[in-house]
A and B are shown apart, each in its own frame.
Chain A
Amino acid sequence: MAVLIHSLLSGLMQIPDTCYYFLLISALIFMSINIQFNGETKSLVESITVAALLADLPLAGKRFAVERNGEIVPKSQLANVDVCDGDSFEIVIAVGGG
């Protein structure tokens, strides 16, 4: 649905196809940002960075890795990448295994 509205608007108004404008339009029409987060649906009311998304997790001082839409987000980029509607995240750690 969000993708449909976005493509209609960007088609009509010639808005560049970037995440920033997508989020702006979404906010204007009072839509929340819906993402998949380790397999669960999560709604955000405002645009945040990936680093902010992870702030509540028990990860301080621990090793973890983040994948967004199937691509690794390097640790150095976590604070620079914004969460977009429809994103899918996997956050993993090392656990005991054979």
Chain B
Amino acid sequence: MPRNTEKLIIADKQYNSRLLVGTGKYRDFNETRDAIVMSGAEIVTVAIRRVNIGQNANEPSLLEVLPPSKFTILPNTAGCYNAKEAVRTLRLARELLDGHALVKLEVLADDSTLFPNMPETIIAAKELVADGFQVMVYCTDDPIQAKALEEIGCVAVMPLASLIGSGMGILNPWNLDIILDRATVPVLVDAGIGTASDAAIAMELGCDGVLMNTAIAKAKNPVLMASAMKKAVEAGREAYRAGRMAKKIYQASASSPSEGKIT
């Protein structure tokens, strides 16, 4: 599908930034806020967890640092290993966010790879879509599964580039290419980005956006990396829209004219 719309559109809402960021693994809320503001991201993911009973009432909460009035909060189901847990978590998130419907579904299969559990993801996606959620879904880079999720009614599919938090970059651009070719909903690379060039490659492939957390939060200077990622996503998108030159594998082509050389 041609993906030449000027702005990222998810579930009929338009966004200026194609970079989506997570809010985990930062040193403190100041660093979280500074990095996220620098990234220019408008959509930020959060996890849903039990309130800490011993917590100090005066300590700020994440949603005071990143208010829903300024950011699109994307609650996710990280840590859920079956459809039931994931659906339960997102119903709590919807209540917490006053009926907000846009969510990130992520059902994990295994705690050492954090690979998507696709059978449970499919079950949860069906239930959530039927319940009125707008589901952005973390999935394998399998074009058949991605298409199945789209057909269920997910508003975006988000295949992994490589394992969550691994920083290994895009391991299978060919599969992403097939997913992009077939999808009619936005395709965002979620998980595995390590540095700016990985994000640029995802965008050059034609992805509609990139979601990352660890690549920024665990950089030596997260705020500077957030700035780099912002530029990489923008540069990759521009390169995609500009249309790259054809690769010529065995034949060089001089940039300078062959006529008028001194003899």
Complex contact B63–A98 (CB within 8 A): no
A94, B50: Cα distance in complex, Å: 9
Complex contact B50–A72 (CB within 8 A): no
B79 to chain A: closest residue by CB? A97
Complex contact A92–B23 (CB within 8 A): no
Complex contact A97–B95 (CB within 8 A): no
- Is B156 part of the binding interface, using a Cβ–Cβ cutoff of 8 Å? no
Residues of B within 8 A of A97 (CB): 22-24, 45-47, 76, 78, 213
A90, B73: Cα distance in complex, Å: 21
- Is A64 part of the binding interface, using a Cβ–Cβ cutoff of 8 Å? yes
Residues of B within 8 A of A12 (CB): none
Give the shortest distance, in Å, between B203 (CB) and chain A (any CB). 19
Residue from A59, A60, A96 in contact with B26 in the complex, judged by beta carbons closer than 8 Å = A96
Complex contact B214–A59 (CB within 8 A): no
- A96 and B95 in contact, given A58-B51, A58-B56, A91-B50 (Cβ under 8 angstroms): no
Residues of A within 8 A of B48 (CB): 65, 92-95
A97 to chain B: closest residue by CB? B47
B97 to chain A: closest residue by CB? A63
Complex contact A98–B92 (CB within 8 A): no
B60 to chain A: closest residue by CB? A62
Residue from B52, B63, B76 in contact with A63 in the complex, judged by beta carbons closer than 8 Å = B63
- Is B187 part of the binding interface, using a Cβ–Cβ cutoff of 8 Å? no
A91, B49: Cα distance in complex, Å: 8
Residues of B within 8 A of A74 (CB): 95
Interface string of B119-151 (1 = CB under 8 A from A): 000000000000000000000000000000000
- A95 and B62 in contact, given A63-B97, A64-B96, A65-B96 (Cβ under 8 angstroms): yes
The residue in B45, B47, B78, B164 that gathers the most chain A C-beta atoms within 10 A of its C-beta is B47
Residues of B within 8 A of A62 (CB): 61, 63-64
- A96 and B76 in contact, given A38-B53, A63-B96, A72-B95 (Cβ under 8 angstroms): no
- Is B55 part of the binding interface, using a Cβ–Cβ cutoff of 8 Å? yes
Residues of B within 8 A of A59 (CB): 51, 57
A98, B52: Cα distance in complex, Å: 19
- Is B59 part of the binding interface, using a Cβ–Cβ cutoff of 8 Å? yes
A62, B49: Cα distance in complex, Å: 14
6 interchain residue pairs of minimum CB distance: A97-B47, A98-B22, A98-B213, A58-B57, A65-B95, A65-B96
